[in-house]
Amino acid sequence: MMQWKSRMVALLLVLAQHSVKVCSHKLMSSEEKLMRDLAALWRVEEWEGEDICSWSGVTCKEIEVKGLAGTSQQQAIQSIRVSGVCQHFDDESTCVLPSYITKFRAIEHLYLAGNGFYGSIPADIGSVSSLKSLFLNSNNLVGAIPSSIGKLKNLEKLHLNSNKLSGSIPREIGGATSLHQLELQQNELTGSIPDTIGELKSLVQLDLNENELEGEIPPALGALKELHRLFLADNLLHGDIPAELLGPHMVHLKKVDLSNNKLKGFVPLGVCKLGDLILLRLSGNAELEGNVPECDAPYGPYADEENKKHCKSQIKDMCRGLSRHDEF
C-alpha cells in the first residue's frame, strides 16, 4: 500500500512539473497581440486558432523573460513568412507594412517578399537587434533606406530589391558587419555607392543593378575578399574600373556585371588572376578602351557577347563563341 502511494505521489509531482512547464512556456502576451493585429490587418486566412506558434509560416522560440517574480521561460516569435497578402485587398494601396513590425522582441527572420506592400520601411528597423534575415523585396515600398539598418549587427541577409526605394544608400550600412547578401537592385536609388560597404567583410553577394547610382566605383569594394557576385549594371557610374576591384586578392569572384554605365579606361590586368571568374560583363560602356587583358582567364565562354570589341585577335580562343549566360 505504501509503495502504491509513493508511486502516486511521484506521478503527481511529474504531472505538476509538466503543467508548470507548459504554462511558463506560453507565448508572450505582447507577441500574441502583435500577431493577431497582423492577422487582422493582412487578412491572412491561415492565421487563426489559439496556438499562434502553429500558424502557417510562423515559428517560435523560447527566451528568458525577467520579471518581478524572477526569470521565466516564455515563447517569442522567431520568424514570419508570408506572401501574396495584398492580392486579397480591393484597394491594394491600403495594404501596408505596419510600423509595429519592429516590436517583436526576439524575431530573427522576416520573409515578407512578394506581398505588394505599400508604405515605407520603418525608420526604427535598426532596433530589432535579433534580425538575421530581412526580405522585403518585390513590394511597392517607397522612401529612403533607414540609416538605422547599420545597427543590425546580426543581420546576414538584406533583400530590399524590386521596390520603389529612393534617396541614397546610407553610409551607416557599413555597420551591419555580418551581412552576407546585400540586394538593393531594381529601385530608384541615387547618389554614390558609399565606401563604407567595403567594411562588410563577410559580404558574398552585392547587387545594386538597375538604379540611378552615380559617381565612381569606390576602390574600397576591393576589400570585400569573400565576394562571389558583384552586380553594378544599369546605373550612371563613371570613371575607371578600380584595380582593387578586380585584383588578384578577389579570389572568390565568380560573376561581375558592370554593363550599361559610363565607365572608361582599361580593364585592370588583375582580372587575369581571377581563376573562379565565369562571367564578366562590360558592354554598354562606350568609353572603355583597349582590350580584355591577354590571359587564359576562364570567363570567355560566359562573357557578354558585346565584350567582343575588347578582345584581341591573339586571344581569339578566349573570345570565340561568346554568348549571354544570365546565371545570376
Can you give the CATH number for the domain in which 211 is found? 3.80.10.10
pTM (predicted TM-score): 0.84
**Which three three-digit cell numbers place residue 122?**
520603418
Residue 107 is assigned to a structural domain of this protein: yes
Taking a C-beta distance cutoff of 8 angstroms, is the pair 269, 291 a contact? Answer: no
**Which three three-digit cell numbers place residue 20?**
508548470
How many structural domains is the chain composed of?
Answer: 1
pLDDT at 182: 99
Which domain covers residue 180, as residue numbers? 77-319
pLDDT at 314: 30
Residue 217 is assigned to a structural domain of this protein: yes
Residue 139 is assigned to a structural domain of this protein: yes
Residue 306 is assigned to a structural domain of this protein: yes
Taking a C-beta distance cutoff of 8 angstroms, is the pair 96, 122 a contact? Answer: no
Residue 292 is assigned to a structural domain of this protein: yes
- CA angle, 153 then 157 then 160, to 5°: 110
Taking a C-beta distance cutoff of 8 angstroms, is the pair 252, 276 a contact? Answer: yes
Residue-level pLDDT, tens digit, the chain, 328 residues: 545 555 554 554 544 444 333 334 689 999 999 999 999 999 998 999 999 999 999 999 998 877 666 677 899 999 999 999 998 898 888 899 999 999 998 999 999 999 999 999 999 999 999 999 999 999 999 999 999 999 999 999 999 999 999 999 999 999 999 999 999 999 999 999 999 999 999 999 999 999 999 999 999 999 999 999 999 999 999 999 999 999 889 999 999 999 999 999 988 888 888 888 888 898 899 888 876 665 555 555 445 545 555 544 332 333 333 333 333 3
pLDDT at 111: 98
- On the CB side of 114, how many CA atoms lie within 13 Å of its CA? 5
Q: Tell me the CA distances in angstroms from 233 to 95, 207, 265, one per residue in order.
A: 32, 9, 17
Residue 54 is assigned to a structural domain of this protein: no
Angstrom distance (rounded) from CA 303 to CA 219: 23
Angstrom distance (rounded) from CA 86 to CA 79: 20
**Which three three-digit cell numbers place residue 47?**
492565421
Residue 12 is assigned to a structural domain of this protein: no
pLDDT at 225: 96
**Which three three-digit cell numbers place residue 282?**
562590360
pLDDT at 15: 46
Residue 294 is assigned to a structural domain of this protein: yes
pLDDT at 308: 52
